Amino acid sequence: MNLAIFFTLSLLASISHAIVEDYCVGDLTLPKTLAGYACKDPSKVTVDDFIFTGFRVAGTTTNIYKNHLNLAFANAFPGLNGLGISMARIDLGVGGVVPIHTHRTSEVFLCVKGRIIAGIIDTNNTAYYKTLEVGDVMIFPQALLHFQVNAGDTPALAFVSLNSPNPGLQVIDDSLFAGNLPSELVEKIMLLDPEQVKKLKKALGGSN
Amino acid sequence: MNLAIFFTLSLLASISHAIVEDYCVGDLTLPKTLAGYACKDPSKVTVDDFIFTGFRVAGTTTNIYKNHLNLAFANAFPGLNGLGISMARIDLGVGGVVPIHTHRTSEVFLCVKGRIIAGIIDTNNTAYYKTLEVGDVMIFPQALLHFQVNAGDTPALAFVSLNSPNPGLQVIDDSLFAGNLPSELVEKIMLLDPEQVKKLKKALGGSN
Amino acid sequence: MNLAIFFTLSLLASISHAIVEDYCVGDLTLPKTLAGYACKDPSKVTVDDFIFTGFRVAGTTTNIYKNHLNLAFANAFPGLNGLGISMARIDLGVGGVVPIHTHRTSEVFLCVKGRIIAGIIDTNNTAYYKTLEVGDVMIFPQALLHFQVNAGDTPALAFVSLNSPNPGLQVIDDSLFAGNLPSELVEKIMLLDPEQVKKLKKALGGSN
Amino acid sequence: MNLAIFFTLSLLASISHAIVEDYCVGDLTLPKTLAGYACKDPSKVTVDDFIFTGFRVAGTTTNIYKNHLNLAFANAFPGLNGLGISMARIDLGVGGVVPIHTHRTSEVFLCVKGRIIAGIIDTNNTAYYKTLEVGDVMIFPQALLHFQVNAGDTPALAFVSLNSPNPGLQVIDDSLFAGNLPSELVEKIMLLDPEQVKKLKKALGGSN
Amino acid sequence: MNLAIFFTLSLLASISHAIVEDYCVGDLTLPKTLAGYACKDPSKVTVDDFIFTGFRVAGTTTNIYKNHLNLAFANAFPGLNGLGISMARIDLGVGGVVPIHTHRTSEVFLCVKGRIIAGIIDTNNTAYYKTLEVGDVMIFPQALLHFQVNAGDTPALAFVSLNSPNPGLQVIDDSLFAGNLPSELVEKIMLLDPEQVKKLKKALGGSN
Amino acid sequence: MNLAIFFTLSLLASISHAIVEDYCVGDLTLPKTLAGYACKDPSKVTVDDFIFTGFRVAGTTTNIYKNHLNLAFANAFPGLNGLGISMARIDLGVGGVVPIHTHRTSEVFLCVKGRIIAGIIDTNNTAYYKTLEVGDVMIFPQALLHFQVNAGDTPALAFVSLNSPNPGLQVIDDSLFAGNLPSELVEKIMLLDPEQVKKLKKALGGSN
């Protein structure tokens, strides 16, 4: 190990259970850490680091869920890095859904256009759901399963905020049917019929 | 309610270093604690506890700042209680401002209508500010001073989210000129001229 | 002060973003809070409050999952209240599974008898799974989907620990098929066929 | 259970992983919780709740350690309740010590009068110690064993601050020799000779 | 140091939700992260890393505020790094003030010499202020505006402790009048008269 | 960018006051930080990173305490890094003890073989102790002194879990008698007789 590397090795780290700098704009060219990105050199920070302009236009809703999720998480909006909050723009086509999912942190959901059925399920298996009108907000508590369904005849639009810069969105269908989990295990741990698993693996692109 | 019960009601403490229940809808009839409200009886929770409908209509912008802040904090939206997040609707009339202020937690600000100059000042006294267009988001890091000014010829609208159910909004002008801090102290701790203090105390309603 | 009030005074719970008492044994006769139970009167705490003896015997594994989960969470072991940790004993019959599930906090899983396939799925839909032998430990990171399957011809036994006194166990199948979420919504938010939903609703006892 | 009590029972609770009120002055007449005291009625808070005047005079240093610890923790200074910080005044007579001890949180120690040997021991059993002069500060990291010894011929004085309103001071000698732990167990878990244990139990007042 | 190393040095991130090492003395030659400094090589840590001797002498109080703030934050006292606490020595000349300011964390203030008027303003614009005598302590809750004024005819001295190694001190006057925020914006977001802004910009050195 | 630098780039650690990645397997070839290890390159993570197989065999109990502590902390089981939990296997020979000790976090202790006396001492110097049978669990609250003693005529076995990946185990005897703390200081800060200190320093290997 040469000296330069040794020197470099000695600088890693840090810590704290609370924010100890004003901000820490993430540097996307550097490796991600459990807490997000390393800080960009403060002398190169500009006002544009604190602003995200990616929500100006609607997304296309042509996937199987007829939705488009535009996630302003820390990788897309590095100014959020370390600050405990993020946003997303959600476009739902007619018949569109955000399939049942979960994440590490709580979320507020603001309906901006259309009518949207939104719901949560708690750990007693009780579902709470209702149709939201324009201007309505729903809270989805930390880590609970929840979903949204376009309830109208026109496209719907929502903006959400979550209290983490990288909330860890986990869509149940994608976890089961779009990845590498073997069909045999999916059947056992979900009690699903083999044909149903096969059908959804095909639809969502998972391996067998 | 007799005295003994009233006495009892005043002692509910609380708080936690991690969420250990699914949710804790606040009961507004009970005393607030450092961590927010006591939990509503879970058997009486309905879907409406998780939904806030108060943002449907615009606020009037006739105060001295020509703004209207509709705060969906835990006292107005008790379903947020304990979940670490909240929202607000901000209407700015022509010439309207959100005067310089601070709060305990970070904020994301989404411009929904009009054009808004938004800015932060860091602890090195460097200001970062820019005009936001519709759809743009700005992040205001925890506890730093920040402000917004309507930059257009029409009313502007924004929605914000903060990572606390009760972020503790502190407006500098209101702290100095709308409360009970004596003019003599205001002058000393701000280096302001007596006439300036007198003028603003009168405009904002503070005592002398 | 009458007895009723005295009784009431003793139940004030609480908890903090940092532990500020040595311990806070939960009082199960009092209402739960978001942070767990109110503290038992310290003068009545005995060594038995710090000890749980409920794991001495195996559970019967006759449910549909052929498992038995004995949860030493704060409601069963009130001494854990506020201390950020809990345990469970997991008995798996031949062919038994712990179906895919999630919880708010991380978990360590110790295989004590038999052979158990255990796995996690991350938010990129990648599954990591393997057969554990006696003495092996697997870590399931916070909030990620995971599962266990008895891989042998004999009953299996495991002990787990989670870093919350009430981790909020949410079993996907139970959330979808054992509660009140209407079949029509389950179909939409999971892309499942109506017959599959009907079959599992019947098996797990959910309403239609 | 009458109605008043039922009503009372329904209000317990609360929670949060962060401060969500400006302050929460503790009410000492009410039961303590894991997070400290319940909040005093805000309408009755005065400036005196934020001020502690108990440090004005020196303590007498006539105990076996020749020290006097004046602890401004939340029970003595209720305004600290929930705010994550506290103080103490430490008087050391000639030959006085603060015997080796630990607490849940970190501490800064300011030498105001005299000369004091202060030290910590880390988890690798390495001791770091030195003589502090007037005006010097030493940091004792969270939960590590540490101690102070008057190094001069005159009384010494220090002020300390800890980042918890109730840090949980645990003095090793007092834990072993001043309480109810049987001598036989003390000998086994410390490898101490029976005569040594007997001598210190007698000096510090512990049972046998 | 070549470019590659420099590039490497700029990426050190960090932070944590709990201390997982005994200590992490900051290395000032390395880039700061959101959580403070990277750890110094533990094998090179000595007792002097845990001690700060910079408070032995008084500061000169010749600035416009007639104060001198000697901040023992992590950059000046790297042993504090990651430990959630810091200190400062405050000298106030006759007529001296610490102008109204705020920071991310709570503070305890100990009056050691002289008489000092200290006060806080809460988010309801209520000010709490009083004159402190030698030995008195005042608590300033997290993020609230507060100030101190020398109330006597002699210099005053105080020591403070804050529960962060880098609390983020933000002085309102400096933020408004000593930095780059344009006068026109200052006037709008503070409702101040142009002459007043001009006068203070000149006195404090801000740009126009 | 050369290989050495690339290698360096991959080690940047971090961690957060909230988990913001799914996991962060520690890279043991890199320097530790206050929050643990830097993350291993995610593309090289395999299922084996989440599994620890070191508990399969018993440890030898031939040291002075007749115990063997097999610690599955983050340095031995890097998959725990950043996840707030760890485990240990404890073998106690006949007459074996885990001498009185403390750590930064809470612990659950599961007796798997034999009979074990376990106890805690709180900050009021009250000891709580009892003999555990096979299957019993005891909770040791954060930072309190505690101990275990084999109460039977056969070897005993326990598994424990702690809510930190690196809890900071500090054994009082080792701190006092196995390290570099001078005997004179040990005597003063423990009130121990010089012969007792000499005897234990010799037994445990400390310097004089």
Residues C50-73 have pLDDT tens digits of 999 999 999 999 999 999 999 999
Q: Is D85 on the interface with E (CB under 8 A)?
A: yes
Residues A192, A128 contacting (CB under 8 angstroms): no
Which of A10, A15, A33, A142 has the highest number of chain F CBs within 10 A, making it the mutation to test binding with F? A33
Residues F60, F33 contacting (CB under 8 angstroms): no
Phi and psi of A48, rounded to 5°?
A: -65, -20
CB contact under 8 A, A188 and C149: yes
SS3 state of residue B164: coil
CA distance C190 to A151: 16
Q: Is A78 on the interface with E (CB under 8 A)?
A: no
CB contact under 8 A, C163 and F84: yes
D195 assigned to a ligand binding site: no
pLDDT digits over A24-48, tens only?
A: 898 887 665 666 677 888 889 999 9
- Tell me the average pLDDT of chain F: 88
Which chains are within 8 Å of B by 3+ CB pairs? A, C, D, E
* AA identity, residue A149: V
pLDDT digits over A129-162, tens only?
A: 999 999 999 999 999 999 999 999 999 999 999 9
CA distance F107 to F66: 21
Residue carrying the six token digits 């988001």:
B137
CB contact under 8 A, D15 and C24: no
Q: Is B88 on the interface with A (CB under 8 A)?
A: no
Q: In this structure, are strands C145-150 and B107-113 parallel, antiparallel, or unpaired?
A: unpaired
- Mean pLDDT, to the nearest integer, of E11-26? 55
CB contact under 8 A, B16 and C5: no
Rg (CA), chain C: 20
- Burial of A56 by CB count in 10 Å (0-12 exposed, 13-18 middle, 19+ buried)? exposed
The pLDDT, as a whole number, for residue A34 is 63
SS3 state of residue C120: strand
The pLDDT, as a whole number, for residue E37 is 76
User: Cα separations (Å) of E176 from B79, D96, E180, F128?
Assistant: 37, 51, 8, 58
Residue C135 backbone class (left: φ over 0; alpha: ψ -120 to 50; beta: rest): left
pLDDT digits over A32-88, tens only?
A: 566 667 788 888 999 999 999 999 999 999 999 999 999 999 999 999 998 999 999
Residues D48, D79 contacting (CB under 8 angstroms): no
The token pair that represents A205 in the structure block: 């692109």
Q: Considering only CB atoms, which chain D residues are within 8 Å of E139?
A: 50-52, 77, 79-80, 83, 85
CB contact under 8 A, D136 and E53: yes
CB contact under 8 A, F34 and E82: yes
Q: Considering only CB atoms, which chain C residues are within 8 Å of F48?
A: 130
Which of A1, A5, A8, A11 has the highest number of chain E CBs within 10 A, making it the mutation to test binding with E? A11
Closest CB from A10, A14, A31 relative to E35: A14
Reply yes or no on whether the pLDDT at F3 is more than 60.
Answer: no
What percent of chain C is modeled with pLDDT above 70? Answer: 87
Q: Is B179 on the interface with E (CB under 8 A)?
A: yes
The pLDDT, as a whole number, for residue B8 is 29
- Mean pLDDT, to the nearest integer, of D67-95? 96
CB contact under 8 A, A80 and B144: no
- Mean pLDDT, to the nearest integer, of A95-113? 97
pLDDT digits over D28-57, tens only?
A: 876 656 666 778 888 899 999 999 999 999
Residue E19 — very low, low, confident or very high, per pLDDT cuts 50/70/90? low
Closest CB from C9, C19, C166 relative to B20: C166
The pLDDT, as a whole number, for residue A150 is 98
ipTM of predicted assembly, 2 dp: 0.89
Residue F185 — very low, low, confident or very high, per pLDDT cuts 50/70/90? very high
Residue pairs spanning E and F at CB distance below 8 A: 77
The token pair that represents C72 in the structure block: 């030493």
Instruction: Say how many Å lie between the first and final Cα of chain F, rounded.
Output: 52
**Relative orientation angle of helices F194-204 and F183-190, to the nearest 10 degrees:** 120
Closest CB from C51, C134, C137 relative to F136: C51
Closest CB from C5, C35, C104 relative to B15: C35
Reply yes or no on whether the pLDDT at A123 is more than 50.
Answer: yes
CB contact under 8 A, E169 and B123: yes
Q: Considering only CB atoms, which chain E residues are within 8 Å of D137?
A: 51-53, 55, 72, 77, 87
Residues D107, D169 contacting (CB under 8 angstroms): no
Q: Is A130 on the interface with B (CB under 8 A)?
A: yes
CB contact under 8 A, A13 and E17: no
Residues D28, D73 contacting (CB under 8 angstroms): no
CB contact under 8 A, C19 and D33: no
Q: Considering only CB atoms, which chain E residues are within 8 Å of D45?
A: 128
Residue C20 — very low, low, confident or very high, per pLDDT cuts 50/70/90? low
The pLDDT, as a whole number, for residue D33 is 61
- Tell me the average pLDDT of chain E: 88
Distance from C178 to chain B by nearest Cα, in Å? 18
Q: In this structure, are strands D145-150 and D97-102 parallel, antiparallel, or unpaired?
A: antiparallel
B184 assigned to a ligand binding site: no
C101 assigned to a ligand binding site: yes
Reply yes or no on whether the pLDDT at E164 is more than 80.
Answer: yes
Nearest chain E residue to D78 by CA: give it: E139
- E19 versus E66: the higher-pLDDT residue is E66
The pLDDT, as a whole number, for residue D37 is 77
CA distance F198 to D48: 52
Q: Residue window 14-73, chain C: list those with CB within 8 Å of chain F.
A: 19, 22-23, 45-48, 50-53, 55-57, 72
Reply yes or no on whether the pLDDT at A10 is more than 60.
Answer: no
Nearest chain A residue to C150 by CA: give it: A188
CB contact under 8 A, A12 and E168: no
**Of A199-208, F1-10, F167-176, which range is least confident?**
F1-10
- E196 versus D81: the higher-pLDDT residue is E196
Helices and strands per DSSP (H, E), number in chain A: 4, 11
E101 assigned to a ligand binding site: yes
CB contact under 8 A, F17 and A15: no
Helix spans in chain C (H): 3-9, 172-177, 183-190, 194-204
The pLDDT, as a whole number, for residue D30 is 67
The token pair that represents C153 in the structure block: 């011809």
- Tell me the average pLDDT of chain B: 89
Q: In this structure, are strands B156-162 and B86-92 parallel, antiparallel, or unpaired?
A: antiparallel
CA distance A92 to D63: 74
Closest CB from D21, D30, D31 relative to B32: D21
Q: Considering only CB atoms, which chain F residues are within 8 Å of A106?
A: none
Residues A168, A104 contacting (CB under 8 angstroms): yes
CA C46 to chain centre: 26
Residue carrying the six token digits 């000092």:
E116
Helices and strands per DSSP (H, E), number in chain C: 4, 11
- E27 versus E190: the higher-pLDDT residue is E190
CA distance D154 to A146: 68
Q: Is E123 on the interface with D (CB under 8 A)?
A: yes
